[in-house]
A and B are shown apart, each in its own frame.
Chain A
Amino acid sequence: MKPEKNIDEILDRYITSATTEDVESHCDQVFQQLQSRAQDAAPHAKPARHMNWLRIGMVAAAAAILFAVLLGVSSRAGAPAVLESENSRRIEYGETVRANDATGSTLVLADKSRIEMRSGSELSLERADDGVRIRLNKGDVIVSAAKQHGHLYVQTNDVMVSVVGTVFLVKAEAEGSRVAVIEGEVRVQQQGANETKLRPGEQVMSKPIMEWQPVSEEISWSHSAPTHLALLQQSTTSIGVAPQPREAFDVVSIRQSAVVAGGGGRGPGGGVRRRNPRPAGEPCGSPSEPVVDPRRFDASETTVHALIAWAYGLDCMNWRGSDLLFGGPGWLKDDGFEVQAVMPDGSPSYNADQLRSHDAPKLQMMLKAMLADRFKLVMHHEMKEMPVYELTLAKGGPKLTVRPEAKKVDPPLPPGTPRYGEIPTVGLSIWKEGDDACCPGWGPTDLGAKKQTMADLARILSGQIGRPVLDRTGLTGEYNYYLRFAFVEIPGTPGKAPLPDAPLRPWERPPDPRTIFTALEEEFGLRLESTKEKVEVWVIDRVERPSEN
C-alpha cells in the first residue's frame, strides 16, 4: 500500500463493500430476526451479540407495534420485482416505477424476466390470473421475458401484449402504442380488433397515424442495443422475415460538390455560381439550405454530418456541427455534396424549417434510408458523460415582463441614425396571441427570438457557449426574448472580439459589458450551471463515400 501515491485510488479500490446478494440476504435475515423477536415479546428478549438492541425498557406497546408492523411486512415479503438500478430495491404490486435517471432503469421480476425502461418511462406491476401484468403508462420498455410457467403481459392504454420467453419492445406514445419483436413471438390484442401474432422484426402500431420505424432504430436507446440487434438479425435471418416497407425517396442524386467550401465561388468548372456558399470548416452549411418543397429535397454543398443531423433530429450548431454526434472520418464534416431527391407521390408537405426543427418525420425517415443505402451509414445510440450546462431558474425565478418594451430601453441610438427595421429591447416576456413568431437569431454579442420555448433557448445558448445546454427551468409555454452581452468567442469560429475603441457602424450600439452568464441571470432570471451528465449521443460505426448515381 502506498498511501502517499493516490488516496483516491485506495478509497475506490479498498473501501469495504457488501455485495448486492449479501445486502439482500442480510436485510431479509434482519426482517426474520425482528419478526421472531416480536413474536417472543419483549420480556423474553435476548440481548444481541454486541449491542443491547432490544432495549431493556422496550414495553409491550412497542412489541405490539413491531408485531403488527412485521406481520404487515412479512405478508408482502414476496415482492414481484426488484429495481436493479436502485440497489435492488423491492417493487410491489401497484407501485409506480419511474425511470427518472438519464440512463433509464432495469426491473427484474421474480422469474428473472428483465424489463429495461427508457429514461422518462413509467409503469406499475399488477397481478394477472396466470402471471404478472406490466402496465406501461408512458415511455419505452424492452422486455426480455423468461421462459416461465405463467404468462407475462404488457398493457398500455390501447394494446395488450402476452408473451412467453421472448424479447420485445413496447412503446406507449401520446398518439398510440407500438409493439416490436426482437426474438420469439408475441400476441397483441388491440381494442376491438383480432389478436395479432408478431415475429422477430415485425411491429404493429395501434393507430394508423403512427409511422413505421425500423425495429433496430426503436431499440437503439437500450444499453443492450448491440445484443438485441444481433439477436434480431439472427432471428429474422433464421425465419426469413421480409423487411417491412419503409419510407424512401423515389429518386436520389448525390454528387460531390465541384467547389471547395470557403472558396471564392468559382470551382474547377469555372464560373460556377454557388447557391448558398458554405463557409470553410462549417459542417452545417448555410442556414438557407436545404430547399424543401412538397416533393423535392435539394441540398447544395451539404456535408454528410448535416444530412445525419437533419435525418436524426440533432441540432447542427452553426460553426461546429452537432455536439451529440461522434465518430466517423473527417470528410463527413468537410466534404460537400449536391443532394437532390424526389419524394413519392402523396408524401406530406414539409418545409426546410420543419426539417431543421426535427418536425418532418417522413422526410427524416427518407433521409435515414438514403444515408443507409448510399453512404452505408450504421450508427448506434449510447449514453456518454460529458460536460454540459443546465439552464435553471435563478433565485427569485424568471424575470418576466409583460412585454420587453415595458421594462427596459436599450442605450438609444445616436441622433439621426437611420433605423434598420425593428430594434429589439432586452427582456423576456411570455408570447401571446397576436405577437409575432419570428426568426431566432444570435451572434457573438446578442441573441433573440419570438415564440420560443425554453428548450429552444437552451439550443441557442448551446450554440453560443459550445456545450450542450439542458433545459431544467421547468418553464413551459413560449416566450419572446432578446439579450445582449459581452463578446462571446463562439467555439469553432474565427471571430475575435472587436477592439474597444472600434467605431460603431450606424446600426450598432455600444456592447454590453456583462458576460452572457451574468446578463442571462440579471435580465431573464435564468442561470447556466456547469456540470457533467450522461447524455444520449449517436456514434457512427460505419460510413462510406456515396455510391454512384
Chain B
Amino acid sequence: MSIASVPRANEPVAAEFEEIFREHSRMVYRTAFTITGNHPDADDVLQNIFLTLLEREFPLDFRTSARAYLYRAAVNMSLKVIRSRKRRRLADGVELLEAPPPLTEANPDEETRRSLREAIARLKPRAVEILILRYEHGYSDAEIAKMLGKSRGTVAVTLYRARAKLKKLLRVHSGGNDEA
C-alpha cells in the first residue's frame, strides 16, 4: 500500500477529517450495524475506523476513494468483531458477560435476522461487501462495480454465489444444524 502525506494537527487536516467524518460516518455505521446487529459494536467499529485514520497516515487508496476505503474497513472490522466475539465465547466464559444480550427466541423475526447475520458473517469479506451494498444500501450492480472498482460481471457473479451460499447456510440453520 502506498503512503501519502502524513496528517498534521493543523486546520487543513482538521477540516479534511471533519469533512470525511461528516460524509461517511453514517454509511460506516449502517454497515457495521447490519453486520454486528447491535449498537455498541457498531459504535466501536465507527470509533476504531476514524481513530485509525487519525493515528496512521492516510493511505493513498483512501485518498483516491475514501468511500470505498471506509466501506471496506467497516465490513472487515465488523466481521473481525463478530468473529472475535465468537472466539471469546468459546475461550473465555467471562467475556460472555460483555456480549450483547441473547435475542429472545420468542420473536421469530429477530431469530431470522440473527440467523441471517450469522450466515452473512460466514461469507468471504468481498462477498459481504457486495451483498450489503446491494441489500442494505440499495446500490445497483453498476453502482457497486463503480464503487469497488470491479466489473459488473464480477459483481453479479459474486452476488449470485453469495445468495446461493446464504440459502444453503440458512437451510442448514432451519434444519437444526446451525454451524454458525
- What band does the interface of chain B fall in when counting residues whose beta carbon is under 8 Å from A? 35 or more
Interface contact B48-A51, CB-CB below 8 Å: yes
User: Please, which residue of chain A has its CB at the minimum distance from the CB of B40?
Assistant: A49
Question: Whole-angstrom distance between the alpha carbons of A95 and B81 in the complex?
Answer: 36
- Chain A hits for B69, CB < 8 A: none
Interface contact A90-B29, CB-CB below 8 Å: no
Interface contact A7-B34, CB-CB below 8 Å: no
B134 to chain A: closest CB distance in Å?
8
Question: Whole-angstrom distance between the alpha carbons of A89 and B23 in the complex?
Answer: 7
Question: Whole-angstrom distance between the alpha carbons of A58 and B30 in the complex?
Answer: 27
Residue of A1, A23, A24, A61 touching B115 (CB-CB under 8 A): A1
- Chain B hits for A69, CB < 8 A: 9, 13-14, 17-18, 54
A48 interfacial by beta-carbon distance below 8 Å: yes
Question: Whole-angstrom distance between the alpha carbons of A33 and B30 in the complex?
Answer: 18
- Chain B CB within 10 Å, residue with most, of A2, A72, A92: A72
Interface contact B167-A7, CB-CB below 8 Å: yes
Question: Whole-angstrom distance between the alpha carbons of A27 and B29 in the complex?
Answer: 7
A496 interfacial by beta-carbon distance below 8 Å: no
- Chain B hits for A90, CB < 8 A: 22
B50 interfacial by beta-carbon distance below 8 Å: yes
Interface contact B170-A89, CB-CB below 8 Å: no
Question: Whole-angstrom distance between the alpha carbons of A73 and B17 in the complex?
Answer: 9
Chain B 20-32 interface mask (CB, 8 Å, partner A; 1/0): 0111011101100
A196 interfacial by beta-carbon distance below 8 Å: no
Question: Whole-angstrom distance between the alpha carbons of A8 and B167 in the complex?
Answer: 9
Residue of A4, A12, A61 touching B167 (CB-CB under 8 A): A4
Question: Whole-angstrom distance between the alpha carbons of A48 and B43 in the complex?
Answer: 10
B77 to chain A: closest CB distance in Å?
8
B59 interfacial by beta-carbon distance below 8 Å: no
Question: Whole-angstrom distance between the alpha carbons of A17 and B29 in the complex?
Answer: 10
User: Please, which residue of chain A has its CB at the minimum distance from the CB of B8?
Assistant: A65
Question: Whole-angstrom distance between the alpha carbons of A388 and B113 in the complex?
Answer: 36
Interface contact A50-B33, CB-CB below 8 Å: no
A53 interfacial by beta-carbon distance below 8 Å: yes
Question: Whole-angstrom distance between the alpha carbons of A10 and B9 in the complex?
Answer: 47
A129 interfacial by beta-carbon distance below 8 Å: no
Interface contact A53-B44, CB-CB below 8 Å: yes
Interface contact A34-B43, CB-CB below 8 Å: no
Interface size on A, residues (CB 8 A): 50
Residue of A8, A22, A72 touching B11 (CB-CB under 8 A): A72
Chain B 50-75 interface mask (CB, 8 Å, partner A; 1/0): 11001100000000000000000000
Interface contact A53-B51, CB-CB below 8 Å: yes
Residue of A3, A16, A31, A53 touching B37 (CB-CB under 8 A): A16
- Chain B hits for A15, CB < 8 A: 34, 113, 116, 132, 135-136
A52 to chain B: closest CB distance in Å?
9
- Chain B CB within 10 Å, residue with most, of A12, A23, A76: A23
Residue of B85, B109, B136, B167 touching A3 (CB-CB under 8 A): B167
A274 interfacial by beta-carbon distance below 8 Å: no
Q: A4-B171, A50-B81 are in contact. Are A88 and B26 (CB under 8 A)?
A: yes
Interface contact A1-B112, CB-CB below 8 Å: yes
B130 interfacial by beta-carbon distance below 8 Å: no
- Chain B CB within 10 Å, residue with most, of A26, A34, A58, A89: A26
Which of chain B's residues 62-96 have a Cβ closer than 8 Å to chain A?
81, 84-85
Number of A-B pairs, beta carbon distance below 8 Å: 153
Residue of A3, A11, A34, A48 touching B50 (CB-CB under 8 A): A34
B3 interfacial by beta-carbon distance below 8 Å: no
Question: Whole-angstrom distance between the alpha carbons of A12 and B11 in the complex?
Answer: 43
B11 to chain A: closest CB distance in Å?
7
B85 to chain A: closest CB distance in Å?
7
A224 interfacial by beta-carbon distance below 8 Å: no
B71 to chain A: closest CB distance in Å?
13
A210 to chain B: closest CB distance in Å?
38
Q: A8-B163, A49-B98, A55-B55 are in contact. Are A23 and B29 (CB under 8 A)?
A: yes
- Chain B hits for A88, CB < 8 A: 26
Interface contact B48-A34, CB-CB below 8 Å: no
A515 interfacial by beta-carbon distance below 8 Å: no
B66 to chain A: closest CB distance in Å?
14
B102 to chain A: closest CB distance in Å?
15
A164 to chain B: closest CB distance in Å?
30
A64 interfacial by beta-carbon distance below 8 Å: yes
- Chain B hits for A33, CB < 8 A: 43, 47
Residue of A4, A30, A49 touching B25 (CB-CB under 8 A): A30
A66 interfacial by beta-carbon distance below 8 Å: yes
Question: Whole-angstrom distance between the alpha carbons of A380 and B108 in the complex?
Answer: 43
Chain B residues engaging chain A, CB cutoff 8 angstroms? 7-11, 13-15, 17-18, 21-23, 25-27, 29-30, 33-35, 37, 39-44, 46-48, 50-51, 54-55, 81, 84-85, 98, 108-109, 111-113, 115-117, 131-132, 135-136, 142, 163-164, 166-167, 170-171, 174
Can you list 29 contacts pairing A with B, beta carbon distance less than 8 Å? A7-B166, A7-B170, A14-B113, A15-B132, A15-B135, A16-B34, A16-B35, A17-B33, A18-B29, A18-B34, A24-B26, A27-B46, A30-B50, A33-B47, A34-B51, A48-B48, A49-B44, A50-B44, A50-B85, A55-B55, A62-B55, A64-B9, A65-B9, A66-B51, A68-B14, A69-B14, A71-B14, A73-B14, A87-B27
Known: A27-B29, A61-B9. 20 other contacts (CB 8 A): A1-B174, A10-B112, A10-B170, A11-B131, A14-B113, A15-B34, A15-B132, A17-B34, A30-B25, A30-B47, A49-B44, A50-B81, A53-B44, A53-B48, A54-B51, A62-B54, A65-B9, A71-B14, A72-B15, A90-B22
